[in-house]
Structure 1
Amino acid sequence: MKNFFKIVAATFIGSLFALVLGTFIMIGIIGSIASFTESKTPKVPGSAILSINFASAVTEQSKESPFSAFNPMASFSSNTTGILDFVQTIDRAAADPAIKMIYLNLNELNAGITHTEEIRSAFERFRESGKPIISYADNYSQNAYYLASVSDKVYLNPAGTATLTGLSMSSLFFKDMLDKIGVEVQLIRHGKFKAAAEQFISNKMSAENREQLQSYLDAVWNTWLADISESRRMPVEKINDLTDNLKLGTAKNALEAGIVDGLMYKDELTDTLVHLFGVKDEKALKTISLSDYSKATKKINLKEKNKIAVIYADGEIIMGKSDENIASDNFVALLAKVRKDSSIKAVVMRVNSPGGSAQSSEIIERELALLRNNKPVIVSMGDYAASGGYWISANADKIIANNTTLTGSIGVFSLVINAQKTLNKHLSINTGTVNTNKHSDIMSGFRALDSEEIAFIQSSVEIIYTDFVNLVANGRNLSAAKVDSIGQGRIWSGADALKIGLTDEKGGLFEALRTAAAMGEVESYRVVEYPVIKSQIDKILEMLSESGESARVIANPELLIEKAYSKLRNESGIKTYARLPYNIDIR
């Protein structure tokens, strides 16, 4: 009887959850359908200011929530602007006589480190057209100020700050905690700089890891210093002095130091824009948002036969199928489709990946080799193109990276966890194992590896590392000894990677497309992006399917346990990784 009531309660909760979720989804469907019928293409005024804020994130590809038109939970909207859409919109504005200037509101900046660098380059091209950029913020974060510094005028709220403190990265180390709870971690790797899983086997940062992180941070900071120095006509030494001695604590300090051009409140900024725009009052100011301007001016010439494909390799590299990562099955099928399309004359592969499965990386590289035999492939690197991300980049016809890209990490590792003591000590769970052979339970998670098994996995790691080194040597026209010397798992900034031969040119998608057109020998073309972005209706139908499955699982706790166990079983076995040990969060 007790179990009966549990089942009834679980079923009730699951049904209630499905009902509530279904209601929200139906409201979203109605709102989306209404938006389809009512939406009109925005119109660009004859003379206007392009107004840009960064409240919506800048991501690799544009993403639009199916509930953006009518969302009862608006704060959860996930609309983003793709970096290519953003940059191309700025370039169109530079050539458009209707756009007289850009106004940047930089109270927020939701953009990756290389996105910020690429957007700043686009603003430099806009200024070269003879049009001004004005920036304003109540407070400037460091990356927001780096972007703002490209402007003709930088304004700050009198009560705000534009403090520069330099860049920092921190790592957490879990070994002592794992020892206390009884989890044993065995790390098998090649590369003295390969810091993957270092946080699980040590309680402090290794000297090699500290060296590579310091080098990377210095390269990013030096890029920012050089660009700010050029735009603000201020010596690098002065910017470092202001930073090291914390001389920018107030808005007045920032003005006196020449970091900003004026202090004003928002109403005063409006008066300034009125004056600059040459109108009588605020009512005469004509502005258009980046989103509306993009919709109004983005034209696709379907009559254009020549195409350049932009393929986004975004996320972790994994085996199988997934829409969220670079999954071997999906990605290989996509590459094969592009290869067989004769109208595609060149390919830009945008890599934004910390790596992942070594096997998946090699499977993808095989299909890329077939693609390169058919048409030129240019790699454009985003925030990361490291380890497995570099594996799939190394043989490209040309590699273009931003100064702030994190790349390299040519190394391999395997990780083994033994949780038996934890199960015994904290959950009072014991295990019993029956094997047919001596090593049948290798990597089971219930015991440590013995010396013979460690040697076996180390051998596998060494073979994969040698393959990785040879692949890079072949693709970059370097000796294996040279690649090994700059490999060993070491990360490099894009600026340093260019110096040591891991990349060919500084730049972003703008430069990559220009190179692709030249190598593909096309003067006119249209860009086609892959993976194809799903329509709002497709997303809604997918969410309906997922919500139905979620409700079924919630209504049946046994099914939840079964799915969890199935996931664990699929993760068993020996796996080798070509992956970064962390995701970079610079502060």
Structure 2
Amino acid sequence: MYARIFLITMTFCVLFGSLSAQSWSIACPDDPLTGTQNPAYFGTIQSSAFQSIIQRKNIGRYFVEDMGDYGELVYYRLKFSNLFSNRFIPFGFDMYGYETPVGRETNFYSLWWGLSLGSKSGGIGYMGTHYFYEDKKKYGWSLGLLSRMARWLSWGLTYSEKPRIDSYYGWGYMYDSVFVHLGEDEVAELRTGLAIRPYKEFITLWADAIFHNDLEYKSAMVGGEIMPVDGVHLRGSYHIENEQIEFGLRLDMGHFSGIVSAQSSDDYYGGIMLSSRRLPSLSPYRKKSIRLTIEGSYPESPSLLGGKCFRKLSDAIATIIQDGNVEQLIIKLENPSFSFAQYEELRSLLTEFKNRGGKIKIFAEHLGNGTMYLTSIADQICLSPAGGVNFFGIGVEITYFRGLLDKLGITPDMVHIGKYKTAAEQYTADTMSPEMRKELTAILTHIDTIIITEIAISRGISVDEVRGWTEKCPLHSKNAMDEGIIDTVAYWDEFMEFSGWNKSVSANKYLSEHNEVSHRWDKSPEIAIIPVEGSIVRGLSNPGGFLTGKVAGEKTTVKMIESASRDENIKGIILRIDSPGGSAYASDIIWRAAKKAAQKKPVWVSMAGYAASGGYYIASAGDSIFADLSTITGSIGVIGGKFSIAGLYDKLGLNTQSIYLSKNANIYSLTDTFSTQQRKMVKRNMESSYQLFKNRILQGRKNLTPDSLESLAQGKTYTGISAKQCGLVDEIAGITDIHKLMAEKLEISQDYKIHHYSPYKMFDWLELLRKLSYLSQFTKISRDMELLTTNSEENLWYIVPYYLKLK
């Protein structure tokens, strides 16, 4: 098929060519040369480019008498143009040469530059041109507007004032020459154009009208383009006044574009273009082997200064494995750090690749619980000779602070609603309660079963044999290979040699080449992914600092949701929740914003490692809720209370004197505990909050009744799979599968983009300094005290009792 297309297009190329700038509409410029007709184009471009053009134009025909014989002499103008386009300050230069019948030449030059501003949907631009001929200099300028009003409609407008340039031919018996005249008067011109696309990007039709500066009609042109396949542009135009026809062809091949042209007036030109971004081409980018380095942690949200995040990593791997031409994926692990849910999503993607016949090779320095689970899917696992396997199995240790608080003179005075709502237990007790032990054991057993079973299936051995590995670790690399845990022991340079690492293409290079320039006039439809990461608090989100965790501020999160809701180009919203909960007030405000957004467009929820308590409160606003198998969710309950530091004050010799004008004025004083009456009042208030929590869930989960929900609540926590079984979650899926499912439902799966929202664009540095004031506290105490002291009016919290991280 490609050979046939090539022959047809080359024949067309020989017969015709690609339209010159003057013969293409200002409503739909699509390369630097046509962009010089409407400088607003440069504000809309998606990549920088260099274009070089040579044009031969018939300038004049004269009948002359030579020694009694009559004949016709023709002289031509050769124009050599070089254009450097970018989005802000494009520039270029032209060299003009006039060729006479006996070969004499006359040259002059022009230098142009531009200023442009815009987006893909439109822009404004200015272009100034300096003309040089012998000792004469002139200046011209043009101003352009471009508005791509829809995928099928674009409009352009330009106004220009340029010096009149005339050429004269002088002939004699001994010599001939061409004289160029840069006139003192200027030629002003107003031009407007309209372009439509009746069938996506495959057909473009346009019409332009040109006027003098007094709006007197001057001329008009019509034309169009057909793009039968990617990379082939067949064009034609007709100049109504001088009845000139022009046809053209442009061929795009990767970053290179070839252009040729011919007109009915015997004018023609040809040239090349080099683009910084790949152009849609006849031959798509194909590679068989891709290499990828996974290093460090991948948060759900990009860091303060941008950079990597888990959503981008999973999307990158998904893009690679969906390419049927990719046969091998080579991965280097450099101390990766993921939650178990993230390991689960990555492994699911790699499993999909392997199931379609792809080969996976992985090199690591050491293997722990998480990396052992991830790498077990590989066809070849290689460790460094000095490395080892620390696959011990999973467990949990929880530190209880009651003894320390007693010694410091700090009294935790907490109230909880829900038998299993044990979030304050580490401060109020010195041993684990039966309820917490029961829940943690169930969660750990579930995750352990996933790890052991999946490894056994991938390595083709029994579950008992895999459990036996946990009892033999730690193991040196050589011993691990003898046990069949890994396949090869080699240094990194040796692995690079036999795995084909150096012959493969980096994932960044591969993804860059697949990020092609789009011929759409409008933006591609988008699906927004909005993170809710960290403890939920009032105020702004921030990435935390030393010994302090991330927080999801209600103001920041609501602003992101409202922005996505207003954006007409965003067709659906996915809330990516990785939070143990937090402020009851902030959770409700975010829930309402999500509910309001759901009235305009679909709002789905993707649960990462945690979406518990306040995290589940927010999730209940979603039209559909998705979780990973190991997601920790539920914990539907409330805690509240305070820490009394009166004993600490006594130890420090501090004396607090108080005056209260009512019985409850000291209810949240840090030097008093609750009275019996105050405790009843606090509990009554918390019961109302608990009921509100359940009502929010019942609004979103139509499959639940008040009685069935109460049996699931009481602060109980669930893994993702158990939450699906009891109706708190709809489906088990990772973030990549979720946005694919949403795109299919919205019928945009062929051409959609992901809009990754970051909560840290409006970062508050003063807030970070305030958080860093807790450096003297333990990490766990710091996180919880941070929640309890964020706002003096906050006293109710939806928060999970524990936060587990797989190592």
Normalising TM by the smaller chain, what interval? Answer: 0.7 to 0.9
Whole-angstrom CA distance in 2 between matches of 1:412 and 1:299? 50
- 1:57 aligns to 2:297 (yes or no): yes
> Does residue 318 of the first structure (1) align with residue 318 of the second (2)?
no
Aligned equivalent of 1:104: 331
Q: Distance in 1 between matches of 2:373 and 2:444?
A: 15
From the two aligned structures, give the one with the greater helix fraction: 1
Does 2:459 align with 1:459? no
| Counterpart residue number, 2:54 | none
Q: Are the aligned partners of 1:58 and 1:112 in contact in 2 as well (CA < 8 Å)?
A: no
Counterparts in 2 of 1:145-544, with a 5 A limit?
Answer: 145-243=372-470, 245-246=471-472, 249-274=475-500, 285-299=502-516, 301=518, 303-324=522-543, 325-425=551-651, 427-476=652-701, 477-532=703-758
Q: Which amino acid aligns with 1:59?
A: P
The aligned amino acid for 2:507 is: L
**How far does residue 323 in structure 1 lie from its aligned partner after superposition?**
4.1
Give distance in 1, aligned partners of 2:514 and 2:354.
Answer: 20
More strand by share: 2
- TM score, norm. by length of structure 1: 0.79
* Residues 171, 367 of structure 1: alpha-carbon distance in 2 compared, 3 angstrom cutoff: same
1:575 paired with 2:792, answer: no
For the residue of structure 1 that corresponds to 2:573, the secondary structure is strand
Q: What's the counterpart of residue 27 of structure 1?
A: none
Matched letter for residue 727 of structure 2: G
Give the whole-Å Cα distance in 1 for the aligned partners of 2:367 and 2:555: 43
**In structure 2, do the counterparts of structure 1 residues 143 and 381 end up closer, same or farther at CA, with 3 Å as the change threshold?**
same
Distance 1:199 1:107 in 2: 35
The one-letter amino acid of 1:181's match is: L
2:496 & 2:559 partners in 1: Cα distance?
A: 52
CA distance in 2, matches of 1:460, 1:224: 42
The 5 Å alignment of 1:54-133 reads 54-63=294-303, 65=305, 80-96=307-323, 99-133=326-360
CA distance in 2, matches of 1:332, 1:189: 28
Offset of residue 410 of structure 1: 0.7
Counterparts of 1:299 and 1:358, CA distance in 2: 45
Q: 1:471 to 1:138 in 2, by over 3 A?
A: same
Identity %: 27
1:42 Cα deviation from its structure 2 partner: 9.5
Preserved CA contact (<8 Å) 2:409 2:647: yes
Residue deviations 1:316-365 (CA, integer Å, cap 9, x gap): 21123334432222322322232233332221111111111111111221
How far 1:268 moved relative to its partner? 3.3
Encode CA deviations 1:222-272: one digit per residue, 9 max, x unaligned: 1112221221112222212332x3266333442233222223333432342
> What runs of 5+ residues in structure 2 fail to find an aligned partner?
1-87, 90-274, 279-283, 544-550, 774-786
What are structure 1's unaligned runs of at least 5 residues?
Answer: 1-35, 66-78, 278-284, 554-566
CA distance in 1, matches of 2:656, 2:475: 59
Shift of 1:58: 1.4
Aligned counterparts of 2:756 and 2:388: Cα–Cα separation in 1: 41
Q: Is the CA contact 1:306–1:343 (under 8 Å) kept in the aligned structure 2?
A: yes
Q: 8 Å contact 1:56–1:81 — kept in the other structure?
A: no
What is the aligned partner in structure 1 of residue 30 from structure 2?
none
Larger gyration radius, structure 1 or structure 2: 2
Secondary structure, aligned partner of 1:460: helix
CA distance 1:300–1:471, change in 2 (3 Å): farther
Return the letter of the residue paired with 2:317. I
| Partners of 1:59 and 1:80 within 8 A in 2 | no
Work out whether residues 296 and 334 of structure 2, in 8 Å CA contact, stay in contact via their aligned partners in 1. no
CA drift of 1:526 comes to 2.6
Judged with a 3 Å threshold, the aligned counterparts in structure 2 of structure 1 residues 106 and 410 are, in CA distance, closer, same or farther, namely same
CA contact (8 A) 1:308 1:525 kept: no
In structure 2, do the counterparts of structure 1 residues 361 and 439 end up closer, same or farther at CA, with 3 Å as the change threshold?
Answer: same
User: Normalised by the size of structure 2, how large is the TM-score?
Assistant: 0.58
1:577 is paired with a residue whose SS is: strand
* 1:405-456 deviations in Å (ceiling 9; x for gaps): 111111100021111121121x211111112211112111011110010000
Instruction: Pick which of 514-523 and 226-235 moved more.
Output: 514-523
Determine if contact 1:442/1:573 at 8 Å carries over to the other structure.
no
State the alpha-carbon separation in 1 of the partners of residues 352 and 789 from structure 2.
53
Larger displacement relative to structure 2 (119-128 or 248-257): 248-257
Deviations 1:459-479 (A, max 9, x none): 111111122223223422212
1:203 CA displacement: 0.6
CA distance in structure 1 between the partners assigned to 2:570 and 2:525 by the alignment: 6
Contact kept, 8 Å, 1:444 with 1:573, in 2: the verdict is no
Cα contact 1:383–1:405 (8 A) shared by 2: yes
